Amino acid sequence: MSLLQKLIGMGLRPRVRGKARGTTFEEQTEHLEESSAKLMPRIRNAKDTPGNREALNHFVGIERWSLSRIRGSIRVAKGEPFVLDSYHGYRLPDNAPLEELQDAFAAVRDESIALARELAASSVDPNLKIPHNDLGELTVVEWFAYIDDHTRREIVRIREASAS
């Protein structure tokens, strides 16, 4: 882990834990729904620029990776081996067009909401610890807070198209 990653982890871990503290899967589902409603208009109105495509691909990759980590750790709790990977393999190709990236983000956010709902209705322990490459161990609920917080924090990277 690089020095930068360690510093990011030191700064973000308390933030994510604070946002998750005392919350349930149901509440995290609501947070994801609320942020989706706020973020999607800006994402859909993004200018088609290399910076916006990169930011959206980053959002998609992080959210897909996070969901894979949550699902994988639930399998680990049932005896399967843990796989430590990075988010890069969850991104779309670098030349993905803007519309594809916008649709991919909408789809992965719907998938995050569906998984949070599924876990709320299951017997999965919300305090199950799952390793994050930079933040250390997070509980399942903290992972959903991380997913929500990540895009809310980084949406400033998206520049919107001008009104015609």
**How far does Cα 8 stand from its chain's mean position?**
16
Q: What is the pTM of this model?
A: 0.94
C-alpha span between 74 and 129 (Å, rounded): 10
Domains of the chain: 3-157 (1.20.120.450)
Mean pLDDT of 43-49: 98
Structure-token pair, residue 54: 């990169």
**What proportion of the chain, given as a percentage, has pLDDT over 70?**
98
Q: Residue 156 has what pLDDT? A: 96
Least confident residue range of 72-86, 89-103, 131-145: 72-86
Q: Residue 90 has what pLDDT? A: 98
- Supply the DSSP string of 51-72, one letter for each residue: HHHHHHHHHHHHHHHHHHHHHH
C-alpha span between 98 and 38 (Å, rounded): 19
Mean pLDDT of 28-51: 97
| Other CB atoms within 10 A of residue 132 CB | 19
Whether 124 contacts 9, CB under 8 Å = no
Residues 13-27 have pLDDT tens digits of: 999 999 999 999 999
